Amino acid sequence: MKLLFDENVSARLVRILALEFPESSSVTAVGLGGATDTVIWDHAAVHGYTIVTKDDDFRSMSLVRGAPPKVICLRVGNASTDRIAAVLRSALSVCEDLVSNPEATLLVLTMSVDSRNTP
């Protein structure tokens, strides 16, 4: 599964999640730093990426335009990069379901509130 991490999500996630999400990249790594949401959307669609973002604009675009690309919207507040990685790892099968389901366009992930398991 190829994820494209938006600028509002750490590009370090590409390296941290390389085993779980191979072939992933960041907006800056593909030369789209500072690009409009539409340019990023079109790039993701053409190159088979699923966009990972905290940006409501991509959520809205997904609801209006449909897929491709698919969108994973993170509702994690100011979570650390490690915590975001943990959220994505724990949702791996759900992310795979999103990508494989031709009718699905959007997945919203939140952090579970469990003080016993907070990294």
How large is the greatest C-alpha to C-alpha distance in the chain, in angstroms? 42
Instruction: Say what the pLDDT of residue 112 is.
Output: 63
The answer, yes or no, to whether residue 118 has pLDDT greater than 60, is no
Average pLDDT of the segment spanning 27-56? 97
Instruction: Say what the pLDDT of residue 116 is.
Output: 37
Let me know: does 33 contact 7? Beta carbons within 8 Å.
yes
pTM of the model: 0.91
How far apart, in whole angstroms, are the C-alpha atoms of residue 68 and residue 77? Answer: 26
Q: Closest Cα partner for 52 from 105, 93, 4, 106?
A: 4
Average pLDDT of the segment spanning 97-112? 92
Mean pLDDT, rounded, of the chain:
92
Domain boundaries, the chain: 3-117
